[in-house]
Structure 1
Amino acid sequence: MREQELTRRNFIGLAGAAAAGAAALGLAGCAPQTDSAHAAGGGAAAAVPASWDEEYDVVVCGAGIAGLAAGICAAREGNGAKVLIVEKDVTPNGNSPFCAGSMLYCDDADAFGVYLKAMLGDHTPDDVQKAFCQALTENLDWLYELGAKEEWLDIGAPATEPDPAKGAEWPELENWWTYGRIKFKTKDTDGPTHVHTFFEQTAESTENLTIEFSTPMESLVQDPETKTILGIVADGKNIKANKGVIMCTGGFESDPDMLYNFTGVTGCVPYAGKANTGDGHRACAAIGAGFWHMYGGAQYWTALRNLDNTEFVSTVWNFTKKNLGITVGVSGRRFYMDYDACSCPSSPYAEPGSDIHLNMGYRHGITNFGGTWNHLPLPETTWFIFDADAMANGEIFTDITTDPVADGWALEAASIEELAGKIEVPAEELTATVAQWNEFCDRGADMAFYRPADTLTPIKTGPFYAMRCVPAMLNTDGGPTRDAQGQILDPFGKPIPHLYSAGEFGSVWGHLYQGTGNVGECAAFGRIAARSALANA
């Protein structure tokens, strides 16, 4: 049941982190400022209270897909166990309501495990990968068990052999055809149109499950001798968790300090919700958790913005028309393979069985860099340069403006030299860069960064234009290390008793990533963590 009506949006600031938690995450001296009401207990485990304000069997922190899945599973399978979900915002939030909504699943855990291992390598332990694959085989049936109807779902089933029509994010890897995806239909349906909505509605009707909104988790309560997690402090209340606490507080996309410390990027603008600010990371650091995959996530692109840097040109999947020009840094030079439109979950520039070291493209922000696939630490400000022919093409500003210069979307100049002055880059560098680019276009090959040949558009016809770009992202994946049972581990691999995690909060995705994977993980590890907590005496 709900304890607060969903009447407004109010992204609440971080629960404060004092020296111990901040230092454990490399944030000492740069932790965000917080109000005093949320500062208590943030720097270390909260003291065990003389009495508790509330008591439950399982407490879940965060009401995104992972938190809702964990709470639903714990309440439905707990034989009367009382379950609480606390959420800092006034609605279920995080990235979940904003994501595309496709959920990963598989039929054959062993076959899909080969593909997963090729993506994750040794960055995620084999037993964790195996547990994840096995749990993925339950995802579709679990939706039906919770009341989803077949006619509500658009299902892309796994294949039993290579299927060119299927596509995959990493078709170069073995068994790429073995994953499936589930998505709620958005048209011609009488059911929920997003997986997060489905879980939210299911949670509302689940017995023994309470959701408290506007209740930010501030710190964990830990037995000083046994190190067992006894409960949490949330919005000033001491809440006891007899069987365990499940952390589902998402990533740290909206904490600029953490983004800089772990990815080296400043000026990032996340696409999704603004509530993921690393609260849970600090709370877990304070009680001695280990961390992994802090550099991972769906990041970064150089996304087109207005000149005031207040608005994106368009939404996540078609946010760039980078085939119509080039991107330069403040040096006036190209510096990366700048056709960074997201080519996922199916890559148009990779044939099954081809050499992954030679292929190009951007796959959830991961790109070929010297033959290996990595996230790039993109600059805070870059400029997209294009000409009058590209402007006349009309693709960039579709449905946004009929006069992009007057409306503050682009700068215009009669020459490249004049344009360089307006964006404050060296004129001789930008002129040379454009000249070299046009040579590449004439020969049909980008010999600097090997951009795909069908994206090479010359910049020759004046007037010329520049648009601001910033590094943008969907989500981070790093957080506390978890094991195959969903337990959070200390830096030496030892489980912290009664503490669990699910979703993007310490995700298993630490290297390459398959689209649909985060939502699939939310459901899979939500159940794993819930069942592990319920097993406690």
Structure 2
Amino acid sequence: MADTSNAIADVVVVGSGFAGLSAAISASQAGASVIVLEKENSLGGNSVVSGGTVTVVGSPIQAREGIQDSFSLLKSDMCQAGQQRNNPRLVQQVIEQSYPTFEWLTNELGVKFKDRVDQYGGHSVPRNHTPEDVSGAAMITALLTKAKQLGVEIRTQTRLSKLLVNSQRDTHPILTGVEVQTTKPSAPIQQINVNQGVVLATGGFSGDTGFRQQYAPHLPPNLDHTNVPNTSAEALVEAIRIGAQCLDLDQIQLAPWVSPDETGYGIAPLFASYTVLAYGLALDPATGKRFINELADRKRWTDKLLEIGHPCIGIADAAGMQNSGIDIEPDLDRGVVKKFETLSSLASTYQIPLEKLNQTISRYNSFVEQHQDPEFGKFIRDYAKPLSSPFYGVRLWPKVHYTMGGLKIDVRGRVLGKGDRPIIGLYAAGEVTGGIHGACRLGGCAITECLVFGRIAGREAATHTQVPS
């Protein structure tokens, strides 16, 4: 039974990660009263446990390092990885707003980034910018601080239970409010009426095994995921109920740089993605040979790993750690990343043929010295060094990481219903949406997308008219 003491706001934002808080700030700056709903006790969702990296085209660091980048090059990279399933207009929006959003983070919110640019798999050039603490937590703190300064009301332990629309027949649905319920036992359902709109920023459904298997039955149901607990699809399901379109729900990304030797996200991704892939190598322990360009996109990586049928071994050294800025030494006691003084001890631990391992390392080192990889075409930075003792190794095997599919939106962040007409008053941003990444998301692009479309959706929700255009 609904609580009769209803609340009211101009805009309600569901979710408190990058997309949600960006939307709340944008809506508030546009003059709206805003309530943010978060179902968990803590704020930030998956954004807090992310590496915080944003993809940016045209940054001063790129210019300083002489990196030739362009909107068209990033668009080509994203659409090639996405197997041309991407909506080009949405992709263009993300790309064009990447640097203005980066400026907003640094100049208005005070987020500090490392004075360097990295290259993730699938990107043609270095364009990934990482926070100083290599974490999304500092960015969430900055967003929260700004939202609170603007007077945004934030409610934790409050779950969306229903989207409310006008009940008139033969009309296009217009969002009028939401029903919510706190996670306290026997809590009543409460209603929040909205004057302007609702922004869904609830993330993906990697942890919702039932929903995931409904649309991607090809994935093993017991496959681990990298997300925080309770990463589920209830808001997506509710939007579908009122007529929202979805796309690409079967396109689920597996992360190749995670380890089966730990649960969830863990410590392996930081070491593997920043150090192993950029400054080291990966090999098949059965053959002792490399099998892929370590900077390939995630889909190519995971497809190749699944073809091999067992975990690969990622190898790096101290020089690689120094270049990446990721010091794994404090975490060696977890037993996920291991340190070896000799290649023979590494080979013995991972059951790699020693002669083949020596040959592979020697061959790769010659590529590093030449700054060219004729075997797989990997981009080798000018300051990369040949691998030398001590060595660091980690086992890598895919986990569910990101769901590319979700609600169909337009360039204004409006959720589209039947006939691609907007559901009036309903907006979405971030991983709950689909269409931007197609079949494969490139690293760093998700956070950029969340921030860009969060700001767009919040502004649009605060200023929209009641008649769709």
TM range (shorter): 0.5 to 0.7
Is 1:217–2:171 an aligned residue pair? no
Name the CA distance, whole Å, in 2 between partners of 1:530 and 1:83. Answer: 10
Q: Is the 8 A contact 2:165 2:175 kept in 1?
A: yes
Name the CA distance, whole Å, in 1 between partners of 2:403 and 2:26. Answer: 25
2:142 matched residue in structure 1 = 198
Name the CA distance, whole Å, in 1 between partners of 2:102 and 2:74. Answer: 19
| Bigger radius of gyration among the two | 1
Is 1:290–2:245 an aligned residue pair? yes
Instruction: Report the CA distance shift for 1:119/1:56 in structure 2 as closer, same or farther (over 3 A).
Output: same
Name the CA distance, whole Å, in 2 between partners of 1:533 and 1:506. Answer: 16
1:471 to 385, 392, 398: 398
Q: What is the deviation of 1:376?
A: 2.5
2:64 matched residue in structure 1 = none
Flag structure 2 segments of 5+ consecutive residues without an equivalent. 60-68, 182-188, 322-326, 337-347, 368-372, 388-392
Q: What is the deviation of 1:362?
A: 3.8
Q: What is the deviation of 1:98?
A: 1.2
Instruction: Report the CA distance shift for 1:419/1:125 in structure 2 as closer, same or farther (over 3 A).
Output: closer
Is 1:153–2:112 an aligned residue pair? yes
Q: Is the 8 A contact 1:325 1:384 kept in 2?
A: no
2:203 to 244, 250, 254: 250
2:87 matched residue in structure 1 = 125
Q: What is the deviation of 1:244?
A: 1.0
2:40 matched residue in structure 1 = 89
Name the CA distance, whole Å, in 1 between partners of 2:401 and 2:4. Answer: 41
SS at match of 1:318: helix
1:90-489 alignment, distance < 5 Å? 90-106=41-57, 112-121=70-79, 122-143=84-105, 147-149=108-110, 153-154=112-113, 168-169=119-120, 181=129, 183-186=130-133, 194-207=138-151, 209-224=152-167, 225=169, 226=171, 227-235=173-181, 236-260=189-213, 261-262=215-216, 264-266=218-220, 267-294=222-249, 296=251, 299-301=254-256, 303-306=258-261, 312=266, 314-318=268-272, 337=291, 361-363=295-297, 365-367=298-300, 376=303, 382-383=310-311, 399=330, 470-489=397-416
Q: Is the 8 A contact 1:485 1:529 kept in 2?
A: yes
Q: What is the deviation of 1:217?
A: 1.3
SS at match of 2:97: helix
Q: Is the 8 A contact 1:253 1:276 kept in 2?
A: yes
Question: What residue identity is the alignment partner of 2:246?
Answer: F
1:73 matched residue in structure 2 = 26
Instruction: Report the CA distance shift for 1:213/1:442 in structure 2 as closer, same or farther (over 3 A).
Output: closer
Is 1:490–2:441 an aligned residue pair? no
Instruction: Report the CA distance shift for 1:301/1:525 in structure 2 as closer, same or farther (over 3 A).
Output: same
Q: What is the deviation of 1:91?
A: 1.5
Name the CA distance, whole Å, in 2 between partners of 1:59 and 1:328. Answer: 49
Question: What residue identity is the alignment partner of 1:238?
Answer: Q
Q: What is the deviation of 1:253?
A: 1.9
Q: Is the 8 A contact 2:216 2:252 kept in 1?
A: no
Name the CA distance, whole Å, in 1 between partners of 2:452 and 2:6. Answer: 31
* TM-score, structure 2 as length reference: 0.68
Q: What is the deviation of 1:366?
A: 3.2
RMSD of equivalent CA atoms: 5.2
Q: What is the deviation of 1:126?
A: 3.4
Q: What is the deviation of 1:118?
A: 0.7
Aligned-pair identity (%): 20
Question: What residue identity is the alignment partner of 1:117?
Answer: K
Q: What is the deviation of 1:50?
A: 11
Name the CA distance, whole Å, in 1 between partners of 2:137 and 2:203. Answer: 22
User: More deviation in 129-138 or 248-257?
Assistant: 129-138
Instruction: Report the CA distance shift for 1:523/1:397 in structure 2 as closer, same or farther (over 3 A).
Output: closer
Q: Is the 8 A contact 1:300 1:471 kept in 2?
A: yes
Question: What residue identity is the alignment partner of 2:49?
Answer: F
Flag structure 1 segments of 5+ consecutive residues without an equivalent. 1-39, 41-48, 157-164, 341-360, 368-373, 406-417, 424-429, 458-465
SS at match of 1:200: helix
Name the CA distance, whole Å, in 1 between partners of 2:100 and 2:314. Answer: 49
Q: Is the 8 A contact 1:327 1:334 kept in 2?
A: yes
Q: What is the deviation of 1:438?
A: 8.6
Q: Which has the higher helix share?
A: 2
Question: What residue identity is the alignment partner of 1:148?
Answer: L
Deviations 1:67-114 (A, max 9, x none): 011011111212xx2211100011213211111223344459xx8431
Question: What residue identity is the alignment partner of 1:114?
Answer: S
* TM-score, structure 1 as length reference: 0.60
Question: What residue identity is the alignment partner of 1:248?
Answer: A
Name the CA distance, whole Å, in 1 between partners of 2:5 and 2:239. Answer: 21
1:31 matched residue in structure 2 = none
Name the CA distance, whole Å, in 2 between partners of 1:311 and 1:123. Answer: 27
Deviations 1:340-390 (A, max 9, x none): 6xxxxxxxxxxxxxxxxxxxx344x232xxxxxx75396598355799xx9
Q: Is the 8 A contact 1:88 1:216 kept in 2?
A: yes
Q: How many residues are matched? A: 414
Q: What is the deviation of 1:530?
A: 1.5
